[in-house]
A = this chain, B = another copy of it.
């Protein structure tokens, strides 16, 4: 499944509802899922962990759709050629100065 296919799937399932809710409300749901991922990373079982990763990805995709961002294009543009800061694979950036070229 491509990133774009997943984004389109989430848009088909939740696009109308998320569009009506708007960015701020949708971001609150996204943030709640980030919190649930944190909890699952600390103490979740395998099924909970996988479900929380799926949820965070789904809400990220919805937020991207709400703003007309093609998540796959954005991801490939920044990371397909290696670290966007040091241009190496593996990344040779020194922390804490840079990691993932944020």
Interface residues of A (CB under 8 A from B): 1-3, 6, 9-10, 12-17, 21, 23, 27, 29-34, 36-38, 41, 49-51, 53-60, 62-64, 67, 69, 71-80, 82-83, 88-91, 95, 99-102
Contact = CB atoms under 8 A, between A and B. Distances in A.
Given A29-B99, A63-B41, A89-B12, A1 B72 contact: yes
20 contacts: A1-B3, A1-B72, A1-B75, A6-B76, A12-B89, A13-B88, A14-B83, A17-B90, A17-B91, A29-B99, A34-B34, A41-B67, A49-B69, A53-B63, A54-B71, A57-B57, A57-B71, A58-B79, A59-B100, A62-B100
A62 B56 CA distance: 13
A6 B79 contact: yes
A57 B32 contact: no
Contacts of A14: 83, 90-91, 99-100
Nearest to A30: B34
Given A29-B99, A60-B53, A102-B32, A83 B2 contact: no
